[in-house]
Amino acid sequence: MKNAAVVGIGQTKFGEHWDKSLKDMICEASLAAVADAGVEKQEIESIYIGNMSAGRFAGQEHLGALAADCIGVSVPATRYEAACASGSVAFRNAYNAVAAGQEKLVLVIGVEKMTDVAVPSAVLSLAAAGDQEWEASSGLTFAGAYALIARRHMHEFGTTKEQLAAVAVQNHSNAVGNPYAQFPVAVKMEDVLNANMIAEPLGLLDCSPITDGAAAVVIAEESIAKKLGNAPAWVLGSGQGADTLALHSRKSLTEMLATKQAAKKAFEQAGVQRKDMDVVEVHDCFTINEIIGLEDLGFCEKGKGGKFVEDGKIEKGGEVPTNTLGGLKACGHPVGATGVRQIIDITRQLRGKAYNQVNGARYGLNLNIGGSGATAVVNIFGSDVPDGG
Amino acid sequence: MKNAAVVGIGQTKFGEHWDKSLKDMICEASLAAVADAGVEKQEIESIYIGNMSAGRFAGQEHLGALAADCIGVSVPATRYEAACASGSVAFRNAYNAVAAGQEKLVLVIGVEKMTDVAVPSAVLSLAAAGDQEWEASSGLTFAGAYALIARRHMHEFGTTKEQLAAVAVQNHSNAVGNPYAQFPVAVKMEDVLNANMIAEPLGLLDCSPITDGAAAVVIAEESIAKKLGNAPAWVLGSGQGADTLALHSRKSLTEMLATKQAAKKAFEQAGVQRKDMDVVEVHDCFTINEIIGLEDLGFCEKGKGGKFVEDGKIEKGGEVPTNTLGGLKACGHPVGATGVRQIIDITRQLRGKAYNQVNGARYGLNLNIGGSGATAVVNIFGSDVPDGG
């Protein structure tokens, strides 16, 4: 295994981009990442692009070719899809190729252009991340699916609406001043609790928004990474897990086996401990999912996630600073871009230059979840080259 | 690099499956491949699924999770997309992981369920493999795009309608008796020339059909492959190339740079020659594309592909037996499944058990093209273990 690191990052602002196409966003993020890495685009050997549903959102498949074409390079380019975890599966495939010595310098892109279709159509397209035959076709949207999960978590463990709301309050507070966030605005507990109900118990501010955006990172093999200007964010471990697509097939609604599998593999490979993590990105498509993610990653006991958040453990000065630049909740959730955006935000922290910097952050991870948990990817990063390099 | 081989194959019949869902087809092909390999499904480490557009054709994304779920395993599963080359990019990613020693036994699936939407809608969905902004939105369907290519080939090189038709006649003749083919029927030259015009000069029988189908292969690392019952089809080389998405951006309409790049890499890795190939699968979505593919793969001079076909060089007893079980033309073209089906048909030949067997076939390749040539993948296979193993 070769060592590999994130050496360049770039993204569009996340939001509603009425004046930008899918191509425009891919170009903007990719060229920013290449420039940040300090390499020439012609040096890139391959493109790995994560995207969930450009076919439905933009009438465009064949995203790899689109990306290579609009960036202006002629290299192998493939799209990777695992619903909301598409960005991280693209990253993981790219990392594995570099770690295997098959490539040395590659570009990973995540993108989704969601606002060119009407909201009901977008919600239906998103439902395709679940089980079409058993869930989507009977009207179970994702807010509905996560509402079921939240209800069950409340029933089993006494989790409260206030604890769910505390996730939103914290993440929005973290995003204030983040120039890339869709909603960099603080919200109060009562704002979250009094927001319009979407799917009981999840109100509007418990839900991540519909967003346009692209994010890109350049991954380099050790010999190249050490020569470039940025402090590399070394990939220490990467794991991917799976669970049933439909919620009704699972033994438990409140535990995501895919997350546990992914975390186990990533931590085994990384050779670091949970307590070493200085900063984490946990997939907060709905507030309940951040609570469950913290539990399944092993940062707190099963059922205690709500209390963990309520007690301030995820704050910047807390035990596990989480979604320190706003998460999906406040940054927005352009589905295919989210995993790559998470990796960018961990990289910003490891570089020591995030606007909401966790002092001395050396280790971080991202948890990116597809659908209602049928796919999970965990990547672990460190600021020091692995094995003493 | 580890040696890796195709050790199990399985597919549905290609055709119109009104009684089968996307899940049903994935299961049928996958379980057949696993059974053919003589392994247990629980031994599979990962799933690589190629699919172009299940979002639009079946309201289903997150295909990896769907596949793992319906097969009944809980392993990392990701969808790979590069339009009509989706099956081969899934295969190539899987092969690279095994070659890198990251995995030992994996399942590759290709699938597309195209007949659940109306034909005009399917044609529009397929147009998403081209450039949506510049081509699809102005009405350029794929028959139209390939008609432009064919016209230019005729203009530059004197290629005739009869030479295009000869491709269809040969491929349909090869499919007679193939139990998996959608149209296992012989057609005559005059049938092809007199068929309804689709996009001048391409008539109905110059076009591959809209098809439902799934195909799956099991790839194993050398130590496992040698223990299993089937003669392994060893992967000798694999290459992927790229070109601009929109036709108007290319210097030439009659040459596919992506194919040349992919072939160059695959042959360099394989260490074998074009003249060694006993059997080839060349992407014949339209008759003109088989002619251009034979040229760009280097089996004949640029511009001489029509004559090459007319002279019988692609027949079973000819210089380069091509699409010996029917190709896309007669087997059908369930987009994401096609690349995997090509690999299955090469494997059948290398095992010496194809119903239309090329005697003593030891080497074969498949060329799988995405869109109008923006992606191309070439994989080369041999019946002997590489490096004298």
Could you say which of B177, B192, B225 is where a domain stops?
Answer: B225
What is the spatial distance between Cα A175 and Cα A185, in angstroms, rounded to a whole number?
7
Does A66 reside within a domain?
Answer: yes
Does A389 reside within a domain?
Answer: no
Average pLDDT over residues B125-142: 93
Q: Do B242 and A65 touch (CB under 8 A)?
A: yes
Q: Do A242 and B68 touch (CB under 8 A)?
A: yes
Tell me the nearest-neighbour CA distance from A28 into chain B, angstroms. 18
Residues B290 and B379 in one domain: yes
Residues B284 and B173 in one domain: yes
Closest to A237 measured CA to CA, from A19, A3, A31 = A3
CA dihedral A306, A311, A314, A317 (to 10 degrees): 180
Does A161 reside within a domain?
Answer: yes
Distance linking the first and last C-alpha atoms of chain B: 12
Residues A93 and A146 in one domain: no
CA atoms within 13 A on the CB side of A288: 29
List CB contacts (< 8 A) between A127 and chain B: 59
The CA-based angle A113-B22-B323, given to 5 degrees, is: 95
Q: What is the pLDDT of residue A387?
A: 79
Q: What is the pLDDT of residue B387?
A: 79
Mutate to test the interface with A, among B44, B78, B102 (most CBs of A within 10 A): B78
Secondary structure letter of residue A12 according to DSSP: P
Cis peptide before B201 (omega within 30 of 0): yes
What is the spatial distance between Cα B319 and Cα A389, in angstroms, rounded to a whole number?
53
Give tens-digit pLDDT for B312-350: 999 999 999 999 999 999 999 999 999 999 999 999 999
- Cβ neighbours around A160 below 10 Å, total: 14
Q: What is the pLDDT of residue A389?
A: 44
Domain that holds residue B189: 122-209+238-384
Does B176 reside within a domain?
Answer: yes
Tell me the nearest-neighbour CA distance from B249 into chain A, angstroms. 9
Exactly one of A27, A84, A285, A331 is catalytic; name it: A84
Could you say which of B192, B225, B258 is where a domain stops?
Answer: B225
Q: Taking phi first (over 0 means left), then psi (-120 to 50 degrees means alpha), and beta for anything else, what does residue B298 get?
A: left
Does B256 reside within a domain?
Answer: yes
Nearest to A55 among B53, B82, B99 (CB): B53
Distances (CA, A) of A331 to A360, B146, B279: 23, 43, 53
Distances (CA, A) of A71 to A220, B171, B257: 19, 38, 17
Mutate to test the interface with B, among A46, A48, A56, A81 (most CBs of B within 10 A): A81
Residues B100 and B153 in one domain: no
Could you say which of A197, A225, A253 is where a domain stops?
Answer: A225
Is the separation of the CB atoms in B221 and B344 below 8 Å?
no
Residues A315 and A359 in one domain: yes
What is the spatial distance between Cα B221 and Cα B234, in angstroms, rounded to a whole number?
10
List CB contacts (< 8 A) between A104 and chain B: none
Residues B110 and B174 in one domain: no
Q: Is the ipTM of this complex over 0.90?
A: yes
- Length of chain B counted residue by residue: 389
Does B202 reside within a domain?
Answer: yes
Residues A204 and A289 in one domain: yes
What is the spatial distance between Cα A335 and Cα A339, in angstroms, rounded to a whole number?
8
Asked if the model's pLDDT at residue B311 lies above 70, the reply is yes
Tell me the nearest-neighbour CA distance from A166 into chain B, angstroms. 30
Q: Do A375 and B62 touch (CB under 8 A)?
A: yes
Q: Do A132 and B76 touch (CB under 8 A)?
A: no
What is the spatial distance between Cα A29 and Cα A13, in angstroms, rounded to a whole number?
9
Residues B17 and B47 in one domain: yes
Dihedral sign computed on CA atoms, order B268, B88, B382, B168? negative
Residues B106 and B180 in one domain: no
Asked if the model's pLDDT at residue B388 lies above 80, the reply is no
Extended beta strands in B21-66, E state: 46-50
Does B110 reside within a domain?
Answer: yes
B71 → chain A, closest CA residue: A244
Q: Do B64 and A56 touch (CB under 8 A)?
A: no
Does B40 reside within a domain?
Answer: yes
Q: Which amino acid, one-letter code, is at B304?
A: K
CA atoms within 13 A on the CB side of A340: 41
Residues B141 and B268 in one domain: yes
Counting the structural domains of chain A, the total is 2
What is the spatial distance between Cα B19 and Cα A93, in angstroms, rounded to a whole number?
35
pLDDT-derived band at B272, boundaries 50, 70, 90: very high
Closest to B92 measured CA to CA, from B358, B366, B307, B384 = B366
Mutate to test the interface with B, among A61, A75, A102, A114 (most CBs of B within 10 A): A61
- Active-site residues of B, by number, are 84, 333
Q: Do B77 and A245 touch (CB under 8 A)?
A: no
Q: Do B81 and A62 touch (CB under 8 A)?
A: yes
List CB contacts (< 8 A) between A73 and chain B: 242
Distances (CA, A) of B386 to A190, A198, B270, B364, B389: 67, 59, 8, 14, 6
Q: Where residue B38 sits, what CATH number does that domain have?
A: 3.40.47.10
Q: Do B132 and A245 touch (CB under 8 A)?
A: no
Residues A62 and A43 in one domain: yes
What is the spatial distance between Cα B84 and Cα B114, in angstroms, rounded to a whole number?
13
Residues B294 and B374 in one domain: yes
Mean pLDDT for back-to-back runs of 10 residues, chain A (389 residues): 97 97 97 98 98 96 96 97 98 98 98 94 93 92 97 98 98 98 98 98 98 98 96 98 96 97 98 98 98 98 98 97 98 98 98 96 98 98 83
Encoded tokens for A222: 């050790």
Nearest to B82 among A79, A240, A261 (CB): A79
Q: Which amino acid, one-letter code, is at A145?
A: A
Tell me the nearest-neighbour CA distance from A154 into chain B, angstroms. 27
